[in-house]
């Protein structure tokens, strides 16, 4: 008989909490993107390979491509954290959901020789040559705009391509936090012949994320700054997801003596205690008490996931299939 999974069946946010992040620079960037579109020949949409379905800002991105009129490539980046054996299933699922999605590439900016990286520019130039360029038909330049949600590696891809094709150093600012690129930049040259330029844009989320789990997945892969959602809540979602999918690698990684556990506070407390993560907390009566540092433990747990130390994980997978939010 199949063993029953004794853990939570659904994830609920604390009451009144919503997962949203739409700062002013995103509103501004939407306008800047629309303004530059006239001179763009191809749209490269980048998303995190660990959430191939969740969180793509589809409505806005559809308007940018003129609902498929402009050539479009979807790049699933950070494939090093997804794992090679999951790629085919991801493509099948994406094509089932969105049959019009023809050009899907995987990439890994940590490895310049990754085939998906060297395929981006040839595919883009081919699509542009096959497309109707209207006002730009006479121009030899190929302008590619790179769009996507925050922190998925848009600027990294521009830097890698510039290095691969032109052997030139990085030109776009990159960082581990969401919201590093804050405005639409000037075009950056990435190839000489034919001349190919890329336009970097800030990551843009939906103004209102209605699906809580989708919001938590975006938070877990780092598309929102951690403090917006809270590290302990992100860690709780991670624990929920791992238990629900029977991915118990965390038990060994966190050195939990009593096996899988669905209570984030006891998991973090045990780990913090073992790792001697303590901090001093001032009590209401003025006395200072030394307590286990649950926040530090939550950060460590999240970082294990983000650096692939809990195994290859596709957060949209559900019992071997993909879950559509």
Ligand X SMILES: Nc1nc2c(ncn2[C@@H]2O[C@H](COP(=O)(O)OP(=O)(O)OP(=O)(O)O)[C@@H](O)[C@H]2O)c(=O)[nH]1
Residues at the site binding ligand X, with contacts judged by CB under 6 A: 77-78, 80-81, 108-110, 148, 150-156, 174-176, 178-181, 202-203
The answer to whether the annotation marks 211 as part of a ligand binding site is no
Residue 260: which H helix or E strand, with range?
Answer: none
Tokens of 206: 């939906």
d(Cα 260, Cα 111) in Å, to the nearest integer? 34
**Residue number with CB closer to ligand X (105 or 178):** 178
156 forms part of the interface with Mg ion (CB under 5 A)? no
Both tokens assigned to 240: 């929920």
Q: How far is CA 20 from CA 7, 45, 59, 110, 226, in A?
A: 27, 21, 17, 29, 12
Partner in contact with 109, chosen from ligand X, Mg ion, none, beta carbon below 5 to 8 Å by kind: ligand X
- Among 181, 191, 243, 293, the residue binding Mg ion under the rule CB under 5 A is 181
Farthest CA pair distance, the chain = 76
The DSSP H or E segment spanning 221 is helix 212-221
Where in 95-154 is the site for Mg ion (CB under 5 A)? 154
Q: Could you say which of Mg ion, ligand X, none residue 55 binds, taking C-beta under 5 to 8 angstroms by partner kind?
A: none
Q: Tell the smallest beta-carbon distance from residue 307 to ligand X (Å).
A: 8
Q: Over the range 201-211, which residues count as b (16 or more CB within 10 Å of their CB) and which as e?
A: bbbbbbeebee
Sign of the torsion angle spanned by Cα atoms 250, 256, 257, 259: negative
Q: Which is nearer to ligand X, 57 or 156 (CB)?
A: 156
**Where is 88: in which H helix or E strand?**
helix 87-97
Q: Which is nearer to ligand X, 108 or 125 (CB)?
A: 108
The CB-of-52 to ligand X minimum distance in angstroms stands at 14
Question: Minimal distance in Å, beta carbon 296 to Mg ion?
Answer: 28
Q: Coil, strand or helix: which one is 103?
A: coil
- Determine whether the annotation assigns residue 151 to a binding site: yes
Question: Was 259 annotated as part of a binding site?
Answer: no
SS3 content of the chain, % helix, strand, coil (to 5): 40, 15, 45
Given a contact cutoff of 8 angstroms between Cβ atoms, the answer to whether 210 and 187 are in contact is no
Residue in the shown chain whose Cβ atom is closest to ligand X: 203
Dist. CA 82–CA 12, nearest whole Å: 25
Tell whether 152 is in a known binding site: yes
Query: Min. distance of Cβ 201 from ligand X in angstroms?
Result: 8
Task: Determine if residue 203 is labeled as part of a ligand binding site.
Answer: yes
155 lies in the binding site for Mg ion (CB under 5 A) = yes
* CB nearer to ligand X: pick between 150 and 215: 150
Nearer to ligand X, 154 or 162 (CB): 154
User: Smallest distance from the beta carbon of 115 to ligand X, in angstroms?
Assistant: 13
- Residue closer to Mg ion, measured from CB, 93 or 181: 181
Per the annotation, where are the binding residues?
77-80, 151-156, 203
Per the annotation, where are the binding residues for GTP?
77-80, 151-156, 203
């Amino acid at each position: 008989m199949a063993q029953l999974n004794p853990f939570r069946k659904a994830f609920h946010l604390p009451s009144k909490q919503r997962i949203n992040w739409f700062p002013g620079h995103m509103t501004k960037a939407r306008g800047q993107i629309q303004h530059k579109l006239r001179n763009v020949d191809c749209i490269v949409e980048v998303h995190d390979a660990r959430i191939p379905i969740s969180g793509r800002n589809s409505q806005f991105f559809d308007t940018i491509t003129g609902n498929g009129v402009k050539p479009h490539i979807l790049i699933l980046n950070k494939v090093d954290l997804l794992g090679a054996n999951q790629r085919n299933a991801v493509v099948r699922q994406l094509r089932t959901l969105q049959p019009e999605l023809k050009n899907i590439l995987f990439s890994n900016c940590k490895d310049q020789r990754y085939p998906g990286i060297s395929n981006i520019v040839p595919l883009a130039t081919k699509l542009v040559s096959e497309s109707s360029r209207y006002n730009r038909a006479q121009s030899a330049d190929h302008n590619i705009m790179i769009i996507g949600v925050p922190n998925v590696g848009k600027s990294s891809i521009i830097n890698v391509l510039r290095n691969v094709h032109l052997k030139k150093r990085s030109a776009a600012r990159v960082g581990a936090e969401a919201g590093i690129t804050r405005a639409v930049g000037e075009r950056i040259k990435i190839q000489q012949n034919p001349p190919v330029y890329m336009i970097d844009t800030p990551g843009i989320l939906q103004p209102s994320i209605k699906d809580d789990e989708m919001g938590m997945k975006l938070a877990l892969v780092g598309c929102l700054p951690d403090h917006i959602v809270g590290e302990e809540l992100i860690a709780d979602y991670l624990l929920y997801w791992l238990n629900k999918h029977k991915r118990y690698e965390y038990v060994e990684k966190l050195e939990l003596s009593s096996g899988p556990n669905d209570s984030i506070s006891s998991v973090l407390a045990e780990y913090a205690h073992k790792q001697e993560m303590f901090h001093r907390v001032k009590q209401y009566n003025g006395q200072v008490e030394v307590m286990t540092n649950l926040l530090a433990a939550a950060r460590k747990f999240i970082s294990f996931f983000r650096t692939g130390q809990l195994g290859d994980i596709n957060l949209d997978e559900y019992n071997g299939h993909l879950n559509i939010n």
